[in-house]
Amino acid sequence: MEMVLESPIGPLGVVLDGETVVGVRFGFRGEGSPGGHPAVDELREYFAGRLTDFSVPVEMRGGSDFERSVWAEIAKVPYGEMITYGEIATALGDPGLARAVGTACNHNPVPVIVPCHRVVGAGGKMVGFGGGIDRKRRLLELEARVALERSWG
């Protein structure tokens, strides 16, 4: 089943298998039900700045073993923080695989919930994102703003 969510970064298609999220699609233009599912509710709360950790079940389907290991590393990056492609490559045991990490990020089937937007180039450079650099920047700006507001308490 696919649900549609109108978000500040454009329409998202949220692909579900029962209660489990198996995909998020940017710029979704197809048929889908308007949201009435915990995953859609959590995404709405995320975009409103009220949710920093998703609790909906996610299943990462497809991908090579390497891609799955990259996605697992991405899932560990805390809200409002960033990591470089090289740092993920190093965490996986081979600093020379930064480009391959970038490719794996681009193949992430569940962006936003599995936050590939938090992965940046060396020196914090905005490079590569399956949803486009503008969406990546907007997601990072949202998280930075919310993290700052929360730190002011």
Stated as kind and residue range, the H or E segment containing 2 is strand 2-7
Check if the beta carbon of residue 76 is closer than 8 Å to that of residue 116.
no
Place of tokens 């919310």: 146
Query: What does the buried/exposed string (b/e) look like for 112-139 if buried means 16 or more CB atoms within 10 Å of the residue's CB?
Result: bbbbbbbbbeeeeeeebbbbeeebbebb
Q: Which tokens go with 38?
A: 């915990």
Our answer to whether residue 116 is catalytic in this structure is: yes
Which of these is catalytic: 3, 110, 116, 142? 116
List of residues 6+ apart from 115 with CB closer than 8 A: 74, 75, 77, 79, 139
DSSP assignment string, 33-59: EEP-SHHHHHHHHHHTT--SS--S-B-
The catalytic residues are 116
